[in-house]
Structure 1
């Protein structure tokens, strides 16, 4: 019976992953923020937006510091002539380093506004203010309040500079070049994923029934964006583990189109359950670190362990496609053209 051919398995994978450039060199990032006379803020960071949601995350950081809506943050287009070199958008460093730089720039502007208000209201030096909901009030005295726009207008009439460059520098880390030992990174993120799979022992098909993804990225700045990172990372990790493969013959790649290079769709993976554990952290904006790469790196390992649990066979060569599961090897016919290659 077909149902008797299907075996269930469960697998787990764990990781702790270094954030930032680490011992490869000093890690620094810049961000620029400028308040306009209408109370809106122009924002730019030296790290590039590659579609992972940096603009939104950085805008949320600036919004939180200044107490203005995210919609009042105008994110500028990346231009290396306008912002100091901040290195590549790699190494799970974007939220950690770029977010730290944005927070630094916004806090400088906020401090100048606080000084203006301190003088305007003739308050004792060092008075504390709360910036929230587009308004500013004295801490613990909410009735003493001013609109953010009005405060910015006062600052402009006084000739106050409301633009600032934030600079975030990671602590120095290094290892012993001779022994290869030592702290490679100054902070880490942690994750665990569990995959439940069904393996058809007749066809070799592996279906991912469910994935449980638990990650500690520090403080989560953008909840929706963080969940999107996990959904995308897990799905891409399933593709890495089950479908995606490149073959080269006589110096040419054989997979010329997506009918040959298979990537997973929403129909190829079951439920993805997400849980964030926001561990305490010294670095980054309010302890926020990174999330993108770790969500991808665990899934294939969890699936491979689940297949081992279901079949009793340890397979070492990804992807675990039909050939690998049935024959324990890949079929690479050198003399055949397939799919788009015809």
Structure 2
């Protein structure tokens, strides 16, 4: 832990990390959940043709487009007369659960259950430009744009509700849809739908647009210094593997992923994304490769020869945990998990294979990927690893 990044440290590029850095907590939690110390002792004494090894890798990864260009996002929110809400975003959900996170952010601000909200996804004729779904930016950028629109609407709703209920001030209004009441008199209520209906009758506009621009990023191409991203996701990955010394086959038996993504705004989506990212990273580490003939033509052109993990290849056990070291410029302190979920998987597996082989020479050779059975068997033979 001596050399890891902490709050108040500077990165290799010279950027001051003046906000939540949960790397130390992530490492400690990954070590705890994986049984690191016990397994290191146990695996060192194992003999026979099948070895076990455990390895760790840590990382940090930027959120947003960063110094590559101006980054911005936008969203629009429309509350309809029946109390339902239309949420429009140009961000695309490819299964990672990012849009559900935006829905949860909107629901939290307005005080309504998420099922009140209907999403209209990317449509150039209707949804505002939110920028691309890249760079692990959907939560931080899209979430902030959603907050801008949501807070504008909430301010109007609080003012109207205070006048209808006789609250001391708009700040005393509590919206827990379907109930709306004053903080000091929860027995006197109106319904969410009644509040919205009154807004229509009184001409209170219930449509809003939110726009957010990322803080400017500073980067010097010549010196390689600056602040390329305004916030970072941190993490620690532990892989527990089995290596067959007679075939070179590597199997991941248990995976532990701990990420600092600030406030988790969609826990189920984040957990599943962490698992999916690990499996994809495992494919990169152990299977996926490109083969060409002497003329430069690709030989493995389909999934019968370009291998990716299947359900039978996945680890028997996953441990997933999140550290919530928030960032003050992100929505409720939330940060992204898009690309970070794959970043440290391959090195953690490589370190675990090196630990299983227990050879100083093997440590140098496992840095090449993928660690296919042929390649690992070659390492075993070259370094003289014996059962």
Q: What TM-score comes out, normalization by structure 2 length?
A: 0.81
Q: For structure 1, which segment, 60-69 or 133-142, has the greater mean C-alpha deviation from structure 2 after superposition?
A: 133-142
| 1:256 Cα deviation after fit | 2.6
**Do the aligned residues in 2 keep the contact of 1:65 with 1:131 (CA within 8 Å)?**
no
Alignment match of 1:292 (pick from 332, 338, 354): 338
Quote the Cα distance in structure 2 between the aligned partners of 1:111 and 1:224: 30
- SS of the equivalent of 2:251 reads strand
CA shift for structure 1 position 122: 4.5
Aligned-residue RMSD, C-alpha: 1.7
Q: Where does residue 224 of structure 1 map in the other structure?
A: 268
Contact 2:87/2:117 (<8 A) preserved = yes
Question: Could you say what secondary structure the match of 2:149 adopts?
Answer: helix
SS in 2 for 1:175: strand
Q: Distance in 2 between matches of 1:134 and 1:8?
A: 55
Taking a change above 3 Å as real, the CA distance of residues 244 and 177 of structure 1, as seen in their structure-2 partners, is: closer
For structure 1, list consecutive stretches of 5 or more residues without a partner in the other structure: 330-342
Structure 1 residue 271 corresponds to structure 2 residue 314: no
Matched residue SS, 2:272: helix
Aligned residue for 2:106, secondary structure, equals helix
What is aligned with 1:323?
374
Provide the C-alpha distance between the structure 1 equivalents of 2:188 and 2:219, rounded to a whole number of angstroms: 53
Is residue 46–residue 84 contact of structure 1 (8 Å, CA) maintained in 2?
A: yes
Residue by residue, what CA displacement relative to the aligned partner does 1:19-48 show, whole Å, maximum 9, x if unpaired? Answer: 111112221100010000010000011222
Question: What whole-Å deviation, never above 9, does each CA across 1:190-243 have from its counterpart, x for those lacking one?
Answer: 100011111111100001011111111000011100101111001111111001
Number of the residue aligned with 1:68: 112
Mark the CA change 1:248 to 1:140 in structure 2 (over 3 Å): closer, same or farther: farther
Task: Tell me which moved more, 289-298 or 120-129.
Answer: 120-129
Structure 2: distance between partners of 1:125 and 1:228: 42
Q: Quick check: 2:63–2:135 contact (8 Å CA) kept in 1?
A: yes
Which residue of the partner structure matches residue 245 of structure 1? 289
Length-normalised TM-score, structure 1: 0.91
Q: 2:184, 2:135 → 1: CA distance?
A: 42
2:327·2:334 contact (CA, 8 Å) conserved in 1?
yes
Q: Distance in 2 between matches of 1:45 and 1:324?
A: 46
Q: Which residue of 1 aligns with 2:300?
A: 255
Match of 2:197 among 143, 153, 162: 153
Moved over 6 A (4+): none
